[in-house]
């Protein structure tokens, strides 16, 4: 049984609740345990995963958050840098599922976060578990 860390950015709490429901459901359905930590926003997610990985207490990681396009360039920075940070951790050998939604508006976020629709939280958890399984097979 794997122990999975869900790192969530609570900037949009009502949207993240749906992502969390999906991720927890997928992890539990696969027979694994999980813990959740919270950070302020998506930019903090890669750092939180890196710090947690140093503990050696987790087998896989799921990063959850929502970035909604606004009127400034900030969207591109947050979306790009959070994804880049998570990808760097994956390339370093961590099993990380990226569940950071990057959307134009709240309606798109709701459709993607809702476990009864696109269930991107569940998908991110499944991706992390798939990478963990691949890592086990290859080692």
43 is in an annotated binding site: yes
75 is in an annotated binding site: no
**Closest C-alpha among 122, 119, 109, 28 to residue 75:** 109
81 is in an annotated binding site: no
112 is in an annotated binding site: yes
78 is in an annotated binding site: no
103 is in an annotated binding site: no
74 is catalytic: yes
Q: Compute the distance between CA of residue 10 and CA of residue 102 in angstroms, rounded to an integer.
A: 14
62 is in an annotated binding site: no
Q: Compute the distance between CA of residue 52 and CA of residue 136 in angstroms, rounded to an integer.
A: 20
Catalytic residue among 14, 32, 34, 74: 74
How is residue 31 written in tokens?
Answer: 């027979």
Q: Residue-wise over 54-84: b if at least 16 C-beta within 10 A, else e?
A: eeeebbbbbbbbbbbeeeeeebeebbeebbe
Give the bridge partners for 38, in sequence order.
8
100 is in an annotated binding site: no
Residues contributing to the annotated binding site for (2S)-2-hydroxy-3-oxobutyl phosphate? 71-72, 112
Active site residues: 74
Residues contributing to the annotated binding site? 11, 42-44, 66-68, 71-72, 98, 112
Residues contributing to the annotated binding site for 5-amino-6-(D-ribitylamino)uracil? 11, 42-44, 66-68, 98
């Amino acid at each position: 049984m794997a122990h999975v860390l869900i790192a969530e950015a609570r900037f949009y709490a009502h949207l993240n609740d749906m992502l969390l429901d999906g991720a927890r459901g997928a992890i539990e359905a696969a027979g694994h345990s999980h813990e959740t930590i919270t950070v302020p926003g998506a930019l903090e997610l890669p750092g939180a995963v890196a710090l947690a990985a140093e503990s050696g207490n987790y087998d896989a990681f799921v990063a959850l958050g929502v970035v909604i396009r606004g009127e400034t360039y900030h969207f591109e920075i947050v979306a790009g840098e959070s994804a880049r940070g998570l990808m760097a951790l994956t390339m370093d050998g961590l099993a990380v599922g990226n569940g950071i939604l990057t959307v134009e508006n709240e309606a798109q976020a709701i459709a993607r976060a809702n476990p009864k629709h696109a269930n991107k939280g569940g998908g991110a958890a499944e991706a992390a578990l798939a990478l963990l399984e691949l890592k086990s097979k290859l080692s």
